[in-house]
Amino acid sequence: MSQPFLDRFGISVPISMPSSNDLSLILTGKDEKYTGYDELIEVPEILNIDALMEIWYYINRMRFKAEVNNYIHAIVREFTLCARIDKGNSENLKPSSGLCSGCHFNTDKSICNKIDSILSVRVAKDLLRYSKALAWLLNINEVDVNLVNSIAPFVISHRAKYVSRELEKAPFWSNKYEFTKHILEIISKRFLNRKPCYDIANRFRDGIPNEKDFEVLNNYAQNDLIVKYDILPFSKAVKTKKYTKLAEKVDKSVKSGDMKTL
């Protein structure tokens, strides 16, 4: 199936061939071609539409930690960003065809050089949606990064097109699910390492940056595409006197409860 079509499937579960014991049970069981389906072993209805809608309502209300937004953003952007081209609009020039040759970001710890495709906005929405569902199912009060990491391989592995030479290496041997878990481990470490940059972005958003914030961001941007193309440009865009005054005014109004000014 094509990548755009696969992107319509929100989640996938890897299924292998039955074990020897399971295969024996299958072969010794009734053959539905001759006997028809046994009503006693058919999958029963578990939820009616009203119960399902009620569950969706509760799932939609699940809270999530502030860092979850940044982490989901980081996952999608790590799969998407490239220092040379817009991967979403390039048909032939890809990491698998030599795009990364000589690139400063072409390292073992990079993500961009291991993936030919990009992740869509659907992936971001599905990551949050299914993380909320898992939190509800496990009776957890709010979604955190660990929950997102748990569900992410099932949301991403069937959608991503990896560079064959990376996917076929040991110990993955073309197992996209395991390779996706490996990629997410790298993304998670890079996300934690990037935390000072998210803190800086928050300070710029609040209109209270420090003197050396741009210096820190510029240093990170040398080896981090998300800082280079997302966090640093955002910080520069809001580093104006007009925005700083507006942010201060909003903050003051929020703290004083001045709804009229807001």
pLDDT one digit per residue (tens) for the chain, 262 residues: 778 788 899 999 888 888 888 888 878 877 777 776 666 666 667 788 899 999 999 999 999 998 999 999 999 999 999 999 998 888 889 999 999 999 999 999 999 999 999 999 999 999 999 999 999 999 999 999 999 999 999 999 999 999 999 999 999 999 999 999 999 999 999 999 999 999 999 999 999 999 999 999 999 999 999 999 999 999 999 988 888 778 777 777 767 776 666 5
What's the CA gap between 58 and 62, in Å, rounded?
7
Please state the pTM of the whole predicted model. 0.87
User: CA 194, 197, 199, 205 torsion: positive or negative?
Assistant: negative
What's the CA gap between 233 and 59, in Å, rounded?
34
List CB contacts of 186: < 8 A, sequence separation 6 or more. 109, 111
- Structural domains in the chain? 49-193 (1.10.8.80), 195-256 (no CATH)
